[in-house]
């Protein structure tokens, strides 16, 4: 079952144009726009309070001084190149929140247009338009891969970026590495009029979400959902049904959204995995979603967990 509209990040309107990755002078491709990223935060503009990735239509002096780039593909009839300016010391604003669960600081560069800011993508999910989301997810995910993967898995040699940022090659043993994602199963576990929600260590106070976990080698989506539910909460589930998926570039996951029916209600929480888990009724979830109950907060808008929860309350899954 795929519901309409799809989860955030899942509206694919970025044409990859992989054949252009072989172009040695990708920065000279015609009809280009340029997107900047600084320490994992993309450059955004704002219109009527809503963010959009700020694309620069020509190579400014600032961009010409940059060396690290990734060709993302075609977006709204423009070939988009992502430039990494993380080494810049001229970006202003608080940096203490960088890397935290929620970085609300808007950093800015004095040479960039007024009203543009480097923002944490996760903090903008509740207000980010779906038409921009997949471009942002691709940019954020590719930046994270470029940042994290620097040494050869085979011999430990230094990797060199190639194919416009989509491939890395070891010059010592010629081993090639490509961007990878981690498949994750996320489950809306139902029992009568209730669903099971959990919270991880370090989350904002009172925030609860669906249970989730990485799919292991040799597992199906259904098997992973069943195992993770039992390991984290002690709940045995059946009738696991795949609903939809969502790219999740924090840093590199593909979330497989499912529902499952609980066969018992007694919780046995793995405290290494979860801080807490609770059964919540549909009425309680409805009040929390609409701000009528401040004792519990649902997963933020834009996350597939919120998508599953809202569709359950609406009676669609």
Whether residues 306 and 277 share a domain: the answer is yes
6 within domain boundaries: no
Residue by residue, pLDDT tens for the chain (317 residues) are 557 688 999 989 999 999 999 877 776 788 899 999 999 999 999 999 999 999 999 889 999 999 999 999 999 999 999 999 999 999 999 999 998 888 999 999 999 999 999 999 999 999 999 999 999 999 999 999 999 999 999 999 999 999 999 999 999 999 999 999 999 999 999 999 999 999 999 898 999 999 999 999 999 999 999 999 999 999 999 999 999 999 999 999 999 999 999 999 999 999 999 999 999 999 999 999 998 988 999 999 999 999 999 999 999 99
The angle formed by the CA atoms of residues 50, 251 and 224, to the nearest 5 degrees, is 115
110 within domain boundaries: yes
Domain boundary among 148, 167, 196: 148
Whether residues 271 and 225 share a domain: the answer is yes
Element (H, E) at 280: strand 276-281
What is the token pair recorded at 139? Answer: 């940019």
Whether residues 24 and 142 share a domain: the answer is yes
Decide if 57 contacts 80 (C-beta within 8 A). Answer: no
Whether residues 83 and 195 share a domain: the answer is no
4 within domain boundaries: no
For 283, how many CA atoms within 13 A lie in the half-sphere containing its CB? 0
- pTM for the whole structure: 0.93
46 within domain boundaries: yes
Bridge partner residues of 45 (DSSP): 52
Closest CA to 84 of 41, 32, 53: 41
10 within domain boundaries: no
Domain residues for 39?
Answer: 18-148
Domain boundary among 148, 164, 194: 148
Whether residues 251 and 172 share a domain: the answer is no
Number of independent structural domains in the chain: 3
What is d(CA 100, CA 97) in angstroms, rounded to the nearest whole number? 5
Decide if 62 contacts 12 (C-beta within 8 A). Answer: no
Domain boundary among 148, 166, 190: 148
What is d(CA 72, CA 138) in angstroms, rounded to the nearest whole number? 7
Whether residues 23 and 136 share a domain: the answer is yes
């Amino acid at each position: 079952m795929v519901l309409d509209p799809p989860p955030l990040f899942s509206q694919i309107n970025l044409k990859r144009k992989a054949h252009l990755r072989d172009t040695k002078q990708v920065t000279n491709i015609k009809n280009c726009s340029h997107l900047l990223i600084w320490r994992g935060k993309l450059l955004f503009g704002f219109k009527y309070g809503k963010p959009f990735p700020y694309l620069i239509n020509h190579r400014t002096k600032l961009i010409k001084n940059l060396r690290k780039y990734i060709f993302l593909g075609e977006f709204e009839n423009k070939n988009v190149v992502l430039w990494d300016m993380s080494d810049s010391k001229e970006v202003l604003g608080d940096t203490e929140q960088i890397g935290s669960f929620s970085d609300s600081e808007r950093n800015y560069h004095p040479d960039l247009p007024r009203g543009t800011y480097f923002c944490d993508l996760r903090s903008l999910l509740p207000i980010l338009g779906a038409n921009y989301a997949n471009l942002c997810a691709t940019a954020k995910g590719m930046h994270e891969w470029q940042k994290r993967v620097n040494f050869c898995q085979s011999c430990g040699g230094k990797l060199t970026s190639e194919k416009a940022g989509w491939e890395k090659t070891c010059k010592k043993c010629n081993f090639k590495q490509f961007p990878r994602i981690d498949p994750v199963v996320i489950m809306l576990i139902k029992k009568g009029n209730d669903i099971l929600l959990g919270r991880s260590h370090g989350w904002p106070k009172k925030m609860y979400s669906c249970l989730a976990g990485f799919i292991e080698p040799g597992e199906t989506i259904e098997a992973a959902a069943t195992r993770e539910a039992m390991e984290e909460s002690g709940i045995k589930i059946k009738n696991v049904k795949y609903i939809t998926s969502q790219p999740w570039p924090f840093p590199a996951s593909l979330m497989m959204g499912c529902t499952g029916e609980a066969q018992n209600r007694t919780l046995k929480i793995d405290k290494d995995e979860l801080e807490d888990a609770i059964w919540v009724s549909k009425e309680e979830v409805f009040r929390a979603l609409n701000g009528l109950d401040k004792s519990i907060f649902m997963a933020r808008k834009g996350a597939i967990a919120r998508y599953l929860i809202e569709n359950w309350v609406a009676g669609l899954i």
